Structure 1
């Protein structure tokens, strides 16, 4: 009898399935997701009889030596042997054709790739809800319920959407084209199932149908298969949000799905200039102003309505119209500033200093940091809007020669121009605080600013990296960060894209560079014109 070294401390089922166990007690999370009771954990000390194993390894070694000698003497045998790879471990012995696909180097013996992809996806993208909320934590129970109720008469769009998204997630992590092809096939089946569900008045309003659209939009971002930067599922979100009405806000799962969909929609409107296909005013009555996240969404809704009003007004606007827009923008900005004063203490950032004396911002948890990223991006949008409106107003006044101090605005009072230095200062502050938050958000430092283990892989979950994308992209592409900040944000996007397998992050990094290049060319052209 020999001591076999430090054994795995995972539960019996996770060890059998050869997946990482979170070692939670009394049962691990993977077993809950897998739908099996957790069998528990082995004792701390384990002694194994290794006699047969040693004999088998010696025999295999001798056989391999004989085969090697024979191969050296027979060219045809050598050629045949070179076309295969034998992977031998104490747990399995597999022979696979030698290709560039990393999956061909090994194959699961006790579970399918679909099962492994499912566990990996749930681990990376579902975060259990607590008092500050979760992320897609409603997907595993909905998935389990649909599997249990599956029948020929029930659309299975959620099952296909989950399977396709899970396969694409694992495919990107393993760089496995075989899984990517399977994921795309599942995506096509999910789309057909979704169409079938939407054609049914009963199934169209179900949580499973809405969750399918959530997952298909996520699949699109993980795979990097958007139409440019616009999502092909925004119209579906808008249709289902309206169709489900106020009833969807009566339970937490419906509210979480609504918040995901609405955030997706307003990003398309504010950041990408898309036009909604329904009236957004009804949203205000459905959101809870006592919830920090929904309070921020309410403020973003007001900014969204202002953007849409400006787009629908005949151009060029008159002086009174521009002044009314500036007034609405300032009110929205005051409301956003007030949002930071009403947050619970656990939401507030903490100023810490790195080992090099650099000032950083850390948070109680990364999900809170993500909400602050969105807040800062919205503030930057608003300051840029006010800058543009202020300059438009100045141009109108100059053209009409209405600089007299007695001139009054449409409100009957003198309209003071905005202080552009203050607007630029807010943009600078929001950009700087965004960059100060990146080391914590990417797990480079802990909550006290201390560096995490050097050269370790990215320790955040994919869901957390996914939440950083659009705020970082907007701050990067707006043209205001310094060169050092540009490099920091761009590197963060590339890390999320390459380490977490979210292709949208790589696309956004490239797109921001193109936008910044265009802005630089325009600025240089304006400077040349001014010189002449």
Structure 2
């Protein structure tokens, strides 16, 4: 009899499914997420008999069935145990996919703990097994996104096919939910829309740059109203806000739903919520250059002057926000293992938040310059001319500093180094979850296409989007890495049909195919 070495310490179910177990007691999180009783853990020390007969027997034995495991009831830990065969309801690949998806998209290093999508595993587990009910829209959406995520990761087309089948089922159940006055305002329904939006981006199937789910998000936010600001709803709202409002600003699209009432109920002492409150004042209309056939129209001059003042005030508020942050939110300058000057943060979520901050500041600086140059072109004033020249110089300096800071933080943001600049790359892959990559896509794309990044900076951003997007299995990031300017709008139809089959658009009047 010899010591068999250090065995896996995960629960029996996680070991059978070959996924990482968090080893929590009395049951692990993976089992709770999937709605299964945790079978428990084997003893710390395992001895095995190394006789020739035992060796031969072990070599000739078949591996355990992929669809069954032995469940150990550890109610009386050492004295008794009841052993039963527990059959899984679906392919083990789906279970691995769901756990992998939750690990990649619902875990995050937010300063206050948790994740914007951290409660989705609990909602998923509570969906029930009745696939005909409206609440199943979330279960099918999660299954679809999970299978697609893992399918992209392991290059398995069969998983992708299963994912698309579940998307169709999710859309069907979502229609049922939206037809129900009760179901349409539940967290399950909103969460299903969130996951379907993720699916669209993971698959890279946007038809152009705008998301096909933006209208749905806005309509659901309008339906939910203040009820969206419960504990779970608030996290959903934050995710949807970034998905809709920030994209609308960077793409200069006018939102269909005014979020001011919801935003004003946020907590201004929370740095992230305070940033949302400031950014919410930005309206794509306020960023537009007023135009008329009559260049000397006094109304145009007044509008230009008003928008210039507005942008300056808002930019000052954003600058004040960055100066009033707690120490834990501030960047740390250091040298990486390769000698590169880098910025790190206390978490990757903070790094992505700063990237969004930089993108909005760049947007304001560019808008200020456009407004001043247009005002100078129609008003003969030396003072305005000088102000336009000053803004061009000062704005260019600020924009370059924001781009530089974002690029300096890329190694940390994408999990290549730790807070001290030490390397984290293991076996050719960086240490970063897919959600962190996803959260960085739009600010990096805007910085890439704003026209002020130097060739080396643009190359660095393109490489990061392409490599990390491919590594995380997010095709949207790979597609956006190839976008060179505002005029170049990619067609991301992929395998989606021209008619948009498989997508649902939610309007104020209801659901439209």
| TM-score of the pair, normalised by structure 1 | 0.80
Instruction: Quote the residue 1:370 is aligned against.
Output: 352
- Per-residue displacement from partner, 1:478-514 (whole Å, max 9, x unpaired)? 1211122112111111122211101111011012x35
2:374 to 392, 417, 429: 392
Q: Secondary structure at the match of 2:453?
A: coil
- Aligned-pair distance for 1:151? 7.2
Q: Determine which structure has greater relative contact order: mean sequence separation of CA pairs < 8 Å that are 6+ residues apart, divided by chain length.
A: 2
Instruction: Show the 5 A alignment for 1:262-273.
Output: 262-273=241-252
Aligned length: 462
Q: Secondary structure at the match of 1:212?
A: helix
Structure 2 residues without counterparts, runs of 5 or longer: 68-87, 490-513
Q: Secondary structure at the match of 1:473?
A: helix
Instruction: Show the 5 A alignment for 1:303-342.
Output: 303=282, 305=283, 307-311=284-288, 313-315=290-292, 318-342=300-324
Structure showing greater radius of gyration is 1
Q: Which structure: greater helix fraction?
A: 1
Q: Secondary structure at the match of 1:447?
A: coil
Contact 2:289–2:370 at 8 Å: present in 1 too? Answer: no
Q: Distance in 2 between matches of 1:312 and 1:326?
A: 10
Instruction: Quote the residue 2:381 is aligned against.
Output: 403
- Aligned-pair distance for 1:258? 0.9
2:92 to 112, 122, 126: 112
Contact 1:17–1:110 at 8 Å: present in 2 too? Answer: no
Q: Distance in 2 between matches of 1:324 and 1:137?
A: 42
Query: Relative to structure 1, is the Cα distance of residues 345 and 394 closer, same or farther in structure 2, using a 3 angstrom cutoff?
Result: same
Contact 1:135–1:463 at 8 Å: present in 2 too? Answer: no
Query: Relative to structure 1, is the Cα distance of residues 395 and 475 closer, same or farther in structure 2, using a 3 angstrom cutoff?
Result: same
Q: Secondary structure at the match of 1:510?
A: coil
Contact 2:450–2:485 at 8 Å: present in 1 too? Answer: no
- Per-residue displacement from partner, 1:445-485 (whole Å, max 9, x unpaired)? 11111122564412111111111111111111112111221
- Per-residue displacement from partner, 1:22-79 (whole Å, max 9, x unpaired)? 344554322222333444433343222354563257779xxxxxxxxxxxxxxxxxxx
- Per-residue displacement from partner, 1:327-371 (whole Å, max 9, x unpaired)? 111001000001112212211111111234322111111111111
Contact 1:125–1:135 at 8 Å: present in 2 too? Answer: no
Instruction: Quote the residue 2:279 is aligned against.
Output: 300
Query: Relative to structure 1, is the Cα distance of residues 349 and 53 closer, same or farther in structure 2, using a 3 angstrom cutoff?
Result: farther
1:236 to 191, 202, 216: 216
1:180 to 160, 170, 181: 160
Q: Distance in 1 between matches of 2:2 and 2:90?
A: 27
Query: Relative to structure 1, is the Cα distance of residues 36 and 325 closer, same or farther in structure 2, using a 3 angstrom cutoff?
Result: same
Q: Distance in 1 between matches of 2:223 and 2:17?
A: 42
Query: Relative to structure 1, is the Cα distance of residues 415 and 446 closer, same or farther in structure 2, using a 3 angstrom cutoff?
Result: closer
Contact 1:479–1:516 at 8 Å: present in 2 too? Answer: no
Q: In angstroms, what is the RMSD of aligned CA positions?
A: 2.9
Query: Relative to structure 1, is the Cα distance of residues 454 and 280 closer, same or farther in structure 2, using a 3 angstrom cutoff?
Result: closer
Contact 1:164–1:187 at 8 Å: present in 2 too? Answer: yes
Query: Relative to structure 1, is the Cα distance of residues 182 and 498 closer, same or farther in structure 2, using a 3 angstrom cutoff?
Result: same
Instruction: Quote the residue 2:404 is aligned against.
Output: 432
Instruction: Quote the residue 2:119 is aligned against.
Output: 138
Q: Secondary structure at the match of 1:340?
A: helix
Query: Relative to structure 1, is the Cα distance of residues 245 and 48 closer, same or farther in structure 2, using a 3 angstrom cutoff?
Result: same
Contact 2:424–2:431 at 8 Å: present in 1 too? Answer: no
Instruction: Quote the residue 1:22 is aligned against.
Output: 22
Q: Distance in 1 between matches of 2:173 and 2:221?
A: 19
Instruction: Quote the residue 1:257 is aligned against.
Output: 236
